[in-house]
Every structure is written in C-alpha cells, then in structure tokens.
Structure 1
Amino acid sequence: MADGRDLQIGEVAELVGVSTRTIRHYHHAGVVPEPPRSSGGYRQYGLVDVVHLLRVRRLVHLGLSLAAVKDALADRPDGDGDMAEILQELRDGLADEEARLAARRKAVEELLARPDGLLQSASHQHALTRLRQTRPVGHPGLDREAITGELVEAAVGHEQSESLWQTYELIAEDSDLSSQLAVLSEGFEGLAEASADDPGVDELVEFAARLGDAVRALLPRDIMDGDGDPASAHHLLDALAVEMSPAQERCLRLAFARWAKQS
C-alpha cells in the first residue's frame, strides 16, 4: 500500500512478541489507537503502529498498568509525554517492593535457621522450654500449648504475643501458680473424650476462675480488653476449638467468658 500500511494483526503480533488477543485488548483499553481498516474490514498496520506496540509491551513488562502506559504515551507518539515521571514512580515502587521482599527473605531465613524447622518465634520457643520445666514429663497439655501459642501469635501479632511469653517466664518462677496451671491443663486434657454436659466442665471452669488475675495475664490483650476486636477473639476461639471435644470447647468458652467478666 502507498502509505506503508501493509501489515495484518497476525504479522504485527509476531513482530512485537504478543498475541493478537493482547493487541485487540490494547485497542479496547485505548492504549493503542485502532489502525485504518481495509475494504474487507481487516486492520492495516504500519511500522509506526509496530513501534507504538513495542513501547507499550516494554512498559507493561516493567510493571506499569495499562492506565499508566496510556498516560505516558498520550498525545505523544514519540513516547516522551510524562515518561520520565512515570518511570521514576515505577523505580520508587520497585525499591519499596525490594525492601518488602528483603524483609520476607529475612523472616524465611530465620525460620530455616530454627531447630527442627520450628515456626514459633524465639520467645515462644523459650516460653515452651520454661513451661516444660514446670510440668511433669509426658504432661498431656504440652502439645496443645505449642499449637495454641502459634495461633495466639497469628491472632494478636508479634508485640502482644511477646508480652504473653514474658508472662510465661514469670509464671515459671512461681512454683505454686505453675502447679495450679499444670492441674488445670491436665484436667482440660482429661475432657478429651467427654460430652458437653460432663459435670467436669463446670468444675474446671470454677477452678480456672479462682486463678483470677494470674490466668488473665496469660491471655492476649485483644481478647481481654474491652477495646479489643471481638471478631478477632471469636475467630481465635473458633480456631482453638477445632480439634477439641464438645466438653473441652464448652469449657474453653465458659472460662474465657468468666475471665472477661473478671477483667
């Protein structure tokens, strides 16, 4: 053709390195103007269109949205426009993303460095070690304590869970309170096969209530404080109760309700 528009969409797609569907999408989004059509209704592309599409593909691969690409190339077929400003914003965004990835990589490396692939924080591991020192060998509640701790960390965040693990340290130093909590934990595990109406539930709840402030100090602030998120507390209780017997779940919910009223 006299104006040099003798390329069809399939040929352009091959030259640019995208699919014909992608080119049509660029047209639909207004990123690339529609070329003239032949008498038969086929799009007819020229080299200017190919260059424009190459620029669009390059910017998209850099991470720009189609809206940003459209702004960068608007009314400037030579591709200048606000390109410098947009690329600077992209550079800043990539720097932020690199910082986030570095933080995630550091967290993964810390997890890999822990013994036996444990996912607990260092403070949580230390708290569990101190807890085991206050419990008889083979105490049935230790495994549940470890799982509960991970759920608590996920629910209330690192800072609040750190204060919880510090409280474990204080409890471990109080032999009388440690003994009472061991009895409480063993009684709870004793309900593993019990139904919700087991009389042991109410007895254990009463025993837990008598521990008062010491027990409440072990609980996440999000659950105990009035300004905490009730939804978070509800979801945490649901998560804790997943593998519990009906008696254990009822005991847990009643105990939490009693402790909340006492706070």
Structure 2
Amino acid sequence: MPLPAIPRRVKIGDAAALAGTTPRAIRHYHAIGLLAEPERGSDDRRRYGYDDMIRLLWIRRMADAGISLDDIRAAFRSTTGIEQSLARLEESLTSKAAAIEAQRAAVHRLREAGSPLGLLSPLVTGRLRDLPPGALRSADLDTLLVTERILGPLGAAAQADRFIVLATHPDLRAEEDRLAEAEAALDDTVSPDDPRIEDLASQRCDHETALAAAIEGSGLEEALDALLDREDEHNGEEEDGARMSVMEAVGKMPYDFSPARVRYEERVVELLHSADQDGDGDPGAR
C-alpha cells in the first residue's frame, strides 16, 4: 500500500494540532526565542519542517511536565543548567501534592460531618462528632471558627468542651441563652455607667464558673490532655497562617459593641481574673 503524500513542510495550524498546542502558543514560543522562526512559503506564511516539529514536540512534553519556559530554554542550551530547575520543580510539586491532599481531607471531613463543622480542624471535628444533630448551633460554629483562627486547633478543641457541656446540660444552656439575651440588650441606649452592667457581669462570672466545674466533672479535660499528648501527630496541620494574639484579633474583628457592652465585657474579664487569682475557680475561656 503506497504511503500518502508526505508534506515537506506544514502550516502552523497543522503543527499545533500534531504537537497538541495552539498556533497562539507557537507564536509565543517564537516571540521569546524558544522556537526559531521557520521558513515562510510563497504566501508569506510559516512552514514547519521535521526539525521544527521535533523541537516543538520536546517543548510541549517539558511544558506538560511543569517545566517553565525559561527553564526549557536553559535545557536546550545545556543539560547541566536544568538540574537546579528540576529540583525546584520537584519541591514545588511535592508542596502542591501536600496541599491537594489537605484539601481532599477537608472535603472528606465536610462530607462526613454534613455541616460546616467539617471545615474546622480534625481535632475540633472529632471532639464534637458524637453530639446529636442540632446540638451545636450556628453561632457556636462561628465562635469555633474565630477561635481556631486566633488560637489554633488546640485552642478551638478546648473551647469545644464548652459547647459539649452546653449541649448536654439543659440548665446551663438555658442560663447561657438568658445571659446572651441580656448582653444583646446592652445597646447604645444603655449608659456605660448603668448599674445593671455590674450585676450582669457578676452573673456571667458565676455562669462561667459553673461551666468550668461541669467541664471538669465531665472528664473532658482528661480527654483533651490525651489530645495534647498526641500533639506531635498534628503539628503539620496546626499552622494555617500566622497566629495573632486575642487582643490583636479583637482589634481586627468588627464587633458591633456599644460602649455599655464594651464596659460589660471589660468587667467580666476583670471579675474572672479576680476569681482565678483568689482561687475561687477556673472559669476558663469564654
């Protein structure tokens, strides 16, 4: 069977089709000096010969491997100069593979949890996994999100104990809701000198002390200590950006607190600190 007519040179569209690229890309290779300009036909259009096609095929194969165009140019000049480029490329690919694996794990946790809880770290997700549906409120998840950003997964895992106790102690949850409603009422119509602020801050301090006692009595602290003992297993995933202090975060978060609410929060911190110093309890973080 005779061979079909074999062209000695092909147009740019045919060259692009064979190489698996586009005419635009080939023109770019010409512009940056990666691929020499070929001869032109009588119609003043580029015509590509066998050697041009071999060069183009190697360019595409290296580009598909992730090698930059500058490094491809260096590789054509000398094989010795490509080694450092390949080492950088391999390091970059390793980093990308780790990032992709972390994304896959996050998607898996999200699907398994069936709620935004799965987007938090495995430490927090695992700690709250056994709570019944609906026990963890949307506002609780918001708080954990902020805490994990500020204090990291371990800080959020410790705070998760608070929500476990609230979910399993109806009386404490009812008191939490009552206090939250009273705190929300400290709007711009309330003076920072209103005597109700001191009374409400004292009630909040008592509530935090009761919460801390419930956490201690539940054995959750021992479970958290076990997590701390295995902290080495989670070192690689804890840092997800530079950590900031609580006060720095408070200064950056747009809390819509009235002057009365700000004064109330200050008094709560002062009372909790005083109670801790006096040994009357360890209310812990709110």
- TM-score tier by shorter-chain length is 0.5 to 0.7
**Whole-angstrom distance in 2 between the partners of 1:255 and 1:124:** 30
Which residue of structure 2 aligns with residue 135 of structure 1?
Answer: none
Task: Tell me by how many angstroms 1:35 deviates.
Answer: 2.7
Instruction: Report the equivalent of 2:253.
Output: 233
Aligned residues: 221
Offset at residue 150 of structure 1 (A): 4.6
Contact map agreement 2:148 2:155 (CA 8 A) in 1: no
The root-mean-square deviation of aligned C-alpha atoms, in Å, is 4.5
Cα separation, partners in 2 of 1:170 and 1:13, compared to 1, 3 Å = closer
The CA deviation at 1:204 is 7.3
1:223–1:230: 8 Å Cα contact kept in structure 2? no
Asked if 1:187 corresponds to 2:190, the answer is: no
Does the residue aligned with 2:253 lie in a helix, a strand or coil? Answer: helix
Give CA-to-partner distance per residue, 1:133-189, whole Å, 9 cap, x none: xxxxxxxxx735334335425643423322322455688999997765342124357
The separation in 2 between residues aligned to 1:54 and 1:208, in whole angstroms, is 75
Q: Which residue of 2 is the match for residue 6 of structure 1?
A: 9
Alpha-carbon spacing, 1:91–1:257, altered in 2? closer, same or farther (3 Å): farther
Q: Which amino acid in 1 is paired with 2:100? A: L
Query: Structure 2 unaligned runs (5+)?
Result: 1-6, 118-124, 213-242, 271-286
Question: Are 2:146 and 1:146 equivalent residues in the alignment?
Answer: no
Q: Partner residue of 1:42?
A: 45
Shift of 1:31: 2.4
CA distance in 1, matches of 2:103, 2:163: 28
For structure 1, the residue ranges without an aligned partner over 5 or more in a row are 133-141, 238-248
**Deviation of residue 13 (structure 1)?**
1.6
Q: 1:124 to 1:154 in 2, by over 3 A?
A: same
- Matching residue within 65, 90, 98 for 1:62: 65
Q: Is the 1:209–1:255 contact (alpha carbons within 8 Å) kept by the matching residues of 2? A: no
Q: Residue 46 and residue 175 in structure 1: after superposition, are their counterparts in 2 closer, same or farther (change >3 A)?
A: closer
Q: Residue 98 of structure 1 aligns with which residue?
A: 97
Counterpart in the other structure of 2:231: none
The equivalent position to 2:75 in structure 1, one of 62, 72, 76, is: 72
Deviation of 1:9 (Å): 1.7
Q: Choose which of 113, 118, 135 in structure 1 pairs with 2:115.
A: 118
Aligned to 2:155: 160
Distance change >3 Å, CA 200–CA 229, structure 1 → 2: closer
User: 1:22, CA displacement in angstroms?
Assistant: 1.1
Q: TM-score, normalised by structure 1?
A: 0.60
Equivalent pair of 1:124/1:149 in contact (CA under 8 Å): no
Q: Deviations over 1:184-234 (max 9, x none)?
A: 124357x5xx9x55559978755554335976x99xxx89744x3456433
Q: Distance in 2 between matches of 1:223 and 1:89?
A: 31
TM-score, normalized by length of structure 2?
Answer: 0.56
Q: Report the equivalent of 1:259.
A: 265
